Structure 1
Amino acid sequence: MLGKFEPYDRRILKILAVRPCESISTTILVTSLLTLAREITNFKSKLFSSQKKIVREIIRQIEILLIFFEEIHDHHPTFTNSLILSLSELHFSIQKIRCLLKDCTREGARLYILMKSQFIANQFRVLVSSVAAALDILDLNSLEICKEVKELVLLLAKQAQKSNLHVSISDQCAMERVILILNHFENQFEPEKGLIKRILNYLGIHNWVDCNKEVKFLEDEIRNSNVEEEEREIPLLSGLLGLMCYCRGVIFDTLDDDGDHNSESESKLAGAGEVLSYLNPEDFRCPISLELMINPVTISTGQTYDRASIQKWLKSGNLICPKTGEKLENTELVPNSALKKLIHQFCCDNGISISKIGRKSKELSRTIIFPSPASRETIKFLAEFLAGRLTYGTDVQKNKAAYEIRLLTKSNIYNRSILIEVVNVAPLLDLLTSNDPNTQENAISALLKLAKHSKGQKSIIEEGGLMLIISVLRGGMKIESRQIAAATIFYLSAVEKYRKLIGSTRQAITGLIELIKDKDGTMCGKKNAMAAIFGLLLYHRNHDRVLEEGIIPVLFDLISCVERSDFLVDALAILACLGEKINGSIAILQTSALPLIMGFMKSFISKAGREYCVSILLSLCINCGTEVVPILSKEPSIIASLYALITEGSSHASKKALMLINMLHKFRESGSSSSALPSPSSIHKETCFSSNFGK
């Protein structure tokens, strides 16, 4: 069989072709060659922003071969060994030509293809030489085909041997202009906009949408790059990305409608349980080792690293922050328990062994690519431009600037840091009171991204942004703005002192619960609200405040509805946290949630869900034993579920399941006497030991 012409996972300019098997049918081989040749001739109608002269020559040669293949197909000549070998070699080369042509017309790759012109010309030159070699072994005299076709093929063979494909003068000049522009940026000199516009016009990048496609392509290339194999390629990609971001923000004033604005799913954030899968993996990786953090700690600059990595850094004599370059006031390492809990829960939900996360996981993380010098300076110029627009621009310009910040900060740590430093958050906070729904959404979304950075969190709080964010949470003009505000509160709650501040502001908790209760609300909004509440509950004094706002009945309504099953794990995570205290357990029992939780325990297909159920049941037994233990002891299936969790669950969940089993066995063995019920004080010691041991 013939291999697929175009593997769907092939990266640009990584040409993969499959040679036909030796035993392939000659009919299939010729048919395949006809298909390939016709596809290549169709490239005449496609736009090539560069390599135009080379492409015209290649297509002309393939058109001649197409006539040759059609003659063979129609006349069915005798297939000698030399003919089969020649056709096989042609098939191999033409597949590669097709891949290369496809790359030259890849959407969003115009600038990158221009800068790779020399490489592409070399590749085409090699492929044309291989075509000439394949034709050289062909005995045309033995073929019963038209004389004119034989003459065309002979002429093609001679031309292919002498072919000297090279980069055109116009492409060479365009490349030199791009290099000049990047050098200007690297030397902290903003190039003339007219020079940049000439490059954009040459490539056919005429509006914001075209430019945004270039940005997305370059981001994907950087994200999928292998640092060790492509050390030379990454600086080029980074520089081009910075240039295109600058063009998108500065050169194109109009935010064209490409159907993608203000509709991103980026507002999906993390919460407890399965919601954690929405977290950006970069939040879980150590900036030094690029691996998932096992023991995250925070240093004096507010940055978080894995303990082993930062200790090695400090022992090497470094007294500055690896990420920000700031001098450390002290070398104290403060455990980031909130992040550690989230990371461990994330690993538990995704079946990842904590003991094996030292190895890089493509599913969990993507390589951090630090920007090149040119890219760094480009982003600084862009940040200064956006800062001016946010402060002095028209309403339309302010909206566009907020949207550009929203995009720039989406997944790049460096961009967040620069924008916080240059733009600050005050102008974005002012836009939260805008009467335009899109402007408000873009502003709150930009703040969400900045809130992922420690400096951004600090700026938001110090600029008095908390109450403004809460006002959007409770009265945002769009539901998307409200759910993004909830996600922003989640990230702010990652800092302990802010967690206390948010918890003391009752409007925040009320707004989050209102978002959960909203019948017209989205799944994303409810998940974000539960995520934020889960984060606030990491501060123990917030438990009572959340309970006072009536969260338990709201969660019970969610988990009791079959159609709301998407919220089960998130709701159970919050219930497990609240149930640790006596008043929380009492509130859970008052909602008649016990039968539901017992049912989930027996039938829940999610491991995380079953583990939360065990935590809730254990807390209920500890805090309300006289009411709960007798009921559980009458359910034989509960014991079976608990034993299954001991073998399948996490170590922490296994200990809780074992404790619950022992409690139920003791109650049964004692003949169901009240003296056998657990004592809260004695169980508390055992629970503390188990909790600490599992951390």
Structure 2
Amino acid sequence: MRSFQIRLFCVSELHLAFQKVRCLLEDCTCDGARVWMLMKSERVANQFRVLMRAVSTALDVLPPGLVDATDEINGHVELVHRQARKSRFGVDPNDKRVLEVLVSVLKGFENGIVPDKDNVRRVLEYIGIRSWSLCHKELKFLDSETGLVSSSEENRELPELSSLMGFVCYARCVLFDVVDGEASRQSDNNSGSNGVLGGLNPDDFRCPISLEIMIDPVTIETGHTYDRSSILKWFRTGDSICPKTGSKLKNTELVPNLVMRKLTQQYCSENGIPFAEAGHRNRHVKSAVLMESLAAEKAMKMVASFLFNMLAAGTKKAINKAAFEARLLTKTSIFNRSCLVEAGVIPNLLKLLLLADSWTQENAIAALLNLSKHSESKAVIMENGGLECIVDVLKKGIKMEARQHAAGTLFYLASVEEYRVLIGDNPEAIPALLELIKNGTDRGKKNSLVSIYGLLMHSGNHWRVIVAGAVPLLVNLLTNCDREDLVTDSLAILATLAEKSDGTIAILRHGALDSIVKVLNSSTSRLGKEYCVSLLLALCTNGGTVVVAVLVKNPSLIGSLYSLLTDGTSRAIKKAGAVIKVLHEYCERRSSGSMAPVLPQERYIHAW
């Protein structure tokens, strides 16, 4: 019995050790982990040494002759035993020498010293990185690891990871003249996620409390997911219940929902949603001021200076490559944007918009879209005549992708009140946005819709949007578009236009009432329903009995309104109650024979 227990213990220890060896080997051979493994070579060697010692100890304890197996298997066991006992795992001398070069480059970055290209190339060639695509793969791996480490309690490796990202980023931009393979054309695509995202409702990415895209999704005890900041505010009010189910919570522990965060990022990227940094990790907020290491900070500033020089005086090929690098670097990192703005790349990028090369134009406008999210860049763009260049791309861009990027850029510029006025004053801007809504891709439609919505924050643009023909396009989207987020954006614009009598008249003249009620009855979007009921209330207020008389005849409307009172957002509940009150008062006046017209006779219009 005792021998059996000994054998069982030894085999269990061996199984555990080999499982750890397998995991360690998988980590060492992970795609894109070469420079990280070089940096961690001493630690990896120590881990192998510990695991082989565990294997050797387990086999030492295992009594000879107790392994009931063939001679061949026993021979393998003995071979493993000898190798585990004799193996000396240490860092290869060549690894040590190259690692010293890498560390010296990183220290040079910290001191503001531009590294010798030969030293950078020596490190990359030693670990087998000889192309732009392999270098880019290393950068993506490091970025992924940084995200995992920054979201955990143990983040001591963050400065090291950040420094290596600076090194690899510098190497990718400076050493490689050619973007090989399809990497350049896949920079904004995540085709692998289409199947997953196709089965999700756009509202799934919004926090049930704030109705905003979840930046940091966390799951509570009931299994429901909320944005961290929103649910923490909820708990601070003393509510220890689930906002969605109303059930009492035994604990208020928050579990990061990494899958939802990744899906949210993919969704925003694929659909061109230019809302404020949706899905970005919290570490990016910090990186707006400072990177996680001095080496990374200085390396990025060197990269920005290099790209400025290439854009200003490089060959045609080098200029296109520099524009593409600027596009990639500014896609997610606020710090990178600030470095490139400070380096002065914006005027040179604006000049590229006028070129006849489609790929250069697309890279330049995509980079400008990313840079326009930075607070200081908007003024630089406008002061350098950027509005006319961007509108020109929006109207006549060589590729549809360039046009939709231009629409997104206008959205960010329109966040400044002064620039909303200037964009509206440009006679081609709003018509070009509407043309993209009519004939663009879904992403182009999305960017144009949110841009117009932003422009409407300036009241002087209301009549321009109406005169340009926005209303029939938006009403058509309500009835013929399968994308619920586009329908919701259309409703948001119509609700804003309906706040003024001219907007109400235009909406009613195009027979929108029936479409609005149908969306209210069928939509699964809480935000969409909120805009629906806001729109109906504005139409009732400005359209008077003409509108109300039509609405009271719709038998399905009142049920949808009452449903909102129990399941709508706080704003939707308030507006639905107001519409119900208007309908009830109309019915009471009609039954008592005391009807009075709300609109002057000359403004009487047909609702259908």
Query: Aligned partner of 2:131: which letter?
Result: N
CA distance in 2, matches of 1:670, 1:467: 55
Per the alignment, residue 271 of structure 2 pairs with none
Whether the 8 Å contact between 1:108 and 1:214 is mirrored in structure 2 is yes
Deviations 1:401-455, CA, capped at 9 Å, x for gaps: 0000001111111110110011331000000011110000000000001100011
Per the alignment, residue 43 of structure 2 pairs with 119
* 1:232 Cα deviation from its structure 2 partner: 2.4
CA distance in 1, matches of 2:127, 2:31: 12
Whether the 8 Å contact between 1:222 and 1:237 is mirrored in structure 2 is yes
Q: 3-state DSSP class of the match of 1:224?
A: helix
CA distance in 1, matches of 2:306, 2:399: 28
Per the alignment, residue 659 of structure 1 pairs with 578
Is the aligned partner of 1:574 residue 2:498?
Answer: no
CA distance in 2, matches of 1:581, 1:560: 23
Is the aligned partner of 1:481 residue 2:396?
Answer: no
Per the alignment, residue 127 of structure 2 pairs with 203
* 1:642 Cα deviation from its structure 2 partner: 1.2
Q: How many residues align?
A: 531
Is the aligned partner of 1:189 residue 2:189?
Answer: no
**TM-score (normalised: structure 1):** 0.72
Whether the 8 Å contact between 2:55 and 2:84 is mirrored in structure 1 is yes
CA distance in 2, matches of 1:145, 1:163: 25
* 1:384 Cα deviation from its structure 2 partner: 1.1
Whether the 8 Å contact between 1:383 and 1:418 is mirrored in structure 2 is yes
Per the alignment, residue 536 of structure 2 pairs with 617
Distance 1:678 1:394, change over 3 A: farther
Match runs of 1:660-679 below 5 Å: 660-672=579-591, 675=594
Per the alignment, residue 282 of structure 2 pairs with 367
Match runs of 1:11-50 below 5 Å: none
* 1:224 Cα deviation from its structure 2 partner: 2.4
**TM-score (normalised: structure 2):** 0.81
Residue from 403, 422, 425 that aligns with 2:346:
425
CA distance in 1, matches of 2:484, 2:549: 28
Per the alignment, residue 452 of structure 1 pairs with 373
Per the alignment, residue 590 of structure 1 pairs with 509
Whether the 8 Å contact between 1:274 and 1:570 is mirrored in structure 2 is no
* 1:234 Cα deviation from its structure 2 partner: 0.7
CA distance in 2, matches of 1:676, 1:178: 84
* 1:110 Cα deviation from its structure 2 partner: 0.5
CA distance in 2, matches of 1:205, 1:479: 34
Whether the 8 Å contact between 1:383 and 1:419 is mirrored in structure 2 is yes
CA RMSD of aligned residues (A): 3.0
Distance 1:187 1:675, change over 3 A: farther
Per the alignment, residue 428 of structure 2 pairs with 507
CA distance in 2, matches of 1:275, 1:577: 25
Residue from 89, 104, 122 that aligns with 2:28:
104
Whether the 8 Å contact between 2:481 and 2:487 is mirrored in structure 1 is no
Per the alignment, residue 480 of structure 2 pairs with 561
Whether the 8 Å contact between 1:262 and 1:441 is mirrored in structure 2 is no
Per the alignment, residue 272 of structure 2 pairs with none
Query: Aligned partner of 1:607: which letter?
Result: R
Aligned sequence identity (%): 44
CA distance in 1, matches of 2:29, 2:87: 23
Is the aligned partner of 1:168 residue 2:92?
Answer: yes
Residue from 402, 406, 410 that aligns with 2:331:
410
CA distance in 2, matches of 1:576, 1:196: 57
* 1:552 Cα deviation from its structure 2 partner: 0.3
Per the alignment, residue 550 of structure 2 pairs with 631
CA distance in 2, matches of 1:359, 1:158: 46
Match runs of 1:221-620 below 5 Å: 221-226=145-150, 229-261=153-185, 264-265=188-189, 363=261, 365-368=280-283, 370=287, 371=291, 372-518=293-439, 521-561=440-480, 563=482, 567-620=486-539
CA distance in 2, matches of 1:542, 1:232: 51
* 1:563 Cα deviation from its structure 2 partner: 4.4
Unaligned runs of 5+ in 1: 1-78, 267-272, 285-290, 295-305, 307-347, 350-355, 682-695
CA distance in 1, matches of 2:573, 2:593: 26
CA distance in 1, matches of 2:69, 2:559: 79
Whether the 8 Å contact between 1:667 and 1:677 is mirrored in structure 2 is no
Q: 3-state DSSP class of the match of 1:261?
A: helix
Is the aligned partner of 1:153 residue 2:77?
Answer: yes
Per the alignment, residue 342 of structure 1 pairs with none
Query: Aligned partner of 1:484: which letter?
Result: H
* 1:126 Cα deviation from its structure 2 partner: 1.6
Distance 1:231 1:560, change over 3 A: closer
* 1:677 Cα deviation from its structure 2 partner: 6.3
Deviations 1:172-214, CA, capped at 9 Å, x for gaps: 1121111100001110111111111110110100011111101
Deviations 1:336-379, CA, capped at 9 Å, x for gaps: xxxxxxxxxxxx99xxxxxx9x9998645512153111111111
